[in-house]
Amino acid sequence: MERQMKQVDVLVIGAGPAGLAAAIAAKEDGIDNLLVLEREHNPGGILRQCIHNGFGLHRFKEEFTGPEYAQRDIDRARELGIEIQTDTTVLSVDGDHTVTCVSSAHGVEVLSAKAIVLAMGCRERPRGALGTPGTRCAGIYSAGTAQKFVNLEGYMPGKRVVILGSGDIGLIMARRMTLQGAKVLACVELMPFSSGLNRNIVQCLNDYDIPLYLSHTVIDIKGRERLTGVTVAKVDENRQPIPGSEIEFDCDTLLLSVGLIPENELSEGAGVKLSPLTSGAEVDDVLQTNVPGIFACGNVLHVHDLVDHVSNESFRAGHAAAAYVRGALACGETIDVRDGAGVRGTVPQRIRKGVNESVDLMFRPSGVFRNATCVVTCGEREIARKKAPIFTPGEMAVIKLKPEIVASLDETVTVTIERS
């Protein structure tokens, strides 16, 4: 029954912004035997449902909505003649670069690829991961699921909404639900700071007078069939509810925006080593994982705030995959990159020794730091420094290492945030 094993040079898993960018870069580098596998019916990934504006300012110096941003890459991929096989789900990836996928059009296919780019994106943390007590009624959705219902299917999941978590998708959905005719009663955040971008607090909550309750959480969920209400309480420094601070909300919908998790089940099957901090692969400066020839980029690697960063990172992965296929990718000794004080989950986790290319170090600050400085050292030697009015976990921080600095690395690199 199985077809003969198909051979490809570069196989990209996922046709969201990361996969498209990686494929475009590889193709532009001359890789013609290139295949992109996409589980949905259309390429574009999650951008298809992100109909709001604010995408592409860095990359295109112009502001797009999600579908417009995705279309740019889709058009470019078509122009280059890149084959995107949609409606196809990858079932497994092996460490020897064998990939098994299934589709109704082609059945089960087993492919062998010289290089693989993992670009599967991420998923939302569900209610169960929070351990929130209360009934299991209808009306509780992750923000992205609600976004799909509204923006791609044209249905309203509810009319009176409370949002738990202040991640960007939650904030964006607060505005979307309001604009489309629902009433958003509150956005509730466990931490004393928002995990979303500041601009989204302003234009999604403040513009519509939606209150943001920091240091609060949902402690009870009511309604036997459909949600009828939630109880919100203030939390103390240990994030425990404070008795007597309860507020009751009469609502039919609870949207959760409590974090994103890279989708790495396929990567694990391939023997890719994951970082417990990012939940994504550990990679070097060209996004290569511990498994030679397997690269990872975009939200499957670490959760980004900006699609522009996803695209840039993925171009790099695509170029590297092409170089790997041609046997032109320098691999050898690497220098470790470590998180210092105030820093969590720096990507890449290692830098190849002696390469003469710039490297962007990306990480999440572990707390809120005002007027602070990010300092990068190599052993005792300071190699980069960047001041910012604010570092917060809600915004990924990026610090660039110049080519000559990268070329000179000889000891472990440490990234630290210093308070002024």
Partner 1 sequence: MYTDILIIGAGVTGCAIARVLSRYQASIAVIDRGNDIAEGASKANSGIVHAGFDAHPGTLKAKLNVEGAKMYPALCEELCVPYQQPGALVLGFSPEDRKTLEKLVEQGKVNDVPGGRLIEREEVLAMEPNTNPEVVCALYAPTSGLTSPYEMTFALADHAAVNGVQFCLHEEVEDVVRAQDGLWHVTTDKGEHTCNVLVNCAGVGAATIHNMMSDDLLHIIDRRGQYYLMDRMQTLPFHMTMFQCPTVMGKGVLVSPTVHGNLLLGPSAEDSDDELDTSPTAEGLRFVLEKSRLTWPKASVRGTITNFSGIRAHEQKGDFVIGAVKGQKNAYEAVGIESPGLSAAPAIAEMLGGQIAQEMGLEPKAEIVPAIKRPKPFHAMTTQERAEAVAKNPLYGNLVCRCEVVTEAEIREAIRRPVGATTIDGVKRRTRAGMGRCQGGFCSPRVAEILSEELHIPMTEVTKCGGESRLLVGNIHDAMKEGC
Partner 2 sequence: MEITCINCPVGCRLNVTLENGQVVSVTGNTCKRGEVYARQECVDPQRMVTAVIPVRGSAMPLSVKTRTPIPKKLIKDCMKALADVQLDAPVEAGRVVLANVCGTGVDVIATKSVP
DSSP state of 174: H
From 178-186, 329-337, 386-394, 404-412, give the range in contact with partner 1 by CB under 8 A.
178-186
The residue from 51, 80, 137, 331 that contacts partner 1 (CB under 8 A) is: 137
Angle of CA points 281, 286, 290, to nearest 5° = 40
- Residue 100's beta-bridge partner residues? 92, 110
The residue from 61, 209, 225, 332 that contacts partner 1 (CB under 8 A) is: 225
Q: Which CB, 57 or 129, lies closer to partner 1?
A: 129
Q: Which CB, 6 or 183, lies closer to partner 2?
A: 183
Helices within 255-303 (DSSP H only): 265-269
Burial of 53 (0-12, 13-18, 19+ CB in 10 A): middle
Rounding to the nearest 10 degrees, give the CA dihedral for residues 174, 178, 179, 181.
140
- What region does 381 belong to: left with phi over 0, alpha with psi -120 to 50, or beta? beta
Helices within 251-360 (DSSP H only): 265-269, 307-326
133, interface contact from partner 1, partner 2, none, CB < 5-8 Å by kind: partner 1
From 62-70, 153-161, 186-194, 382-390, give the range in contact with partner 1 by CB under 8 A.
153-161
Residue 275 main-chain phi, psi, to 5 deg: -90, 130
Q: Which residues bind partner 2 (CB under 8 A)?
A: 48, 51-54, 57-58, 63, 65, 67-68, 71, 150-154, 179-181, 197-199, 201-203, 207, 305-306, 389-390, 395
Which residues in the 259-298 window bind partner 1 by CB under 8 A? 263, 265, 268
Which residues in the 72-131 window bind partner 1 by CB under 8 A? 87, 89, 91, 100, 102-108, 110, 123-124, 126-129, 131
53, interface contact from partner 1, partner 2, none, CB < 5-8 Å by kind: partner 2
Angle of CA points 240, 244, 247, to nearest 5° = 90
- The 233-262 contact track toward partner 1, x by CB under 8 A, reads -------------------x----------
Q: How far is CA 172 from CA 187, 198, 210, 269, 378, in A?
A: 11, 12, 12, 34, 40
Give the burial string for 166-190 (b: 16+ CB within 10 Å, else e).
bbbbbbbbbbbbbeeebebbbbbbb
Q: Which CB, 152 or 328, lies closer to partner 2?
A: 152
Give the CB-side neighbour count of residue 37, counting CA atoms within 13 A.
Answer: 26
**Spatial separation of the C-alpha atoms in residues 203 and 200, rounded to whole Å:** 5
State the DSSP H helix or E strand holding residue 77, giving kind and residue range, or none if neither: helix 66-79
Residue 120 main-chain phi, psi, to 5 deg: -85, -5
Q: Which CB, 221 or 325, lies closer to partner 1?
A: 221
2 touching partner 1, by CB under 8 A: yes
Q: Which CB, 81 or 181, lies closer to partner 1?
A: 181
Which residues in the 18-77 window bind partner 1 by CB under 8 A? 39
Q: Which CB, 71 or 373, lies closer to partner 2?
A: 71
Q: Which CB, 274 or 405, lies closer to partner 1?
A: 274
68, interface contact from partner 1, partner 2, none, CB < 5-8 Å by kind: partner 2
148 touching partner 1, by CB under 8 A: yes
CB 253 within 8 A of CB 141: yes
Give the CB-side neighbour count of residue 390, counting CA atoms within 13 A.
Answer: 8
* Minimum distance of partner 2 from residue 208's CB (angstroms): 9
Positions that interact with partner 1 (CB under 8 A): 1-2, 39, 87, 89, 91, 100, 102-108, 110, 123-124, 126-129, 131, 133-138, 141-142, 144-145, 148-150, 153-159, 180-182, 219, 221, 224-226, 252, 263, 265, 268
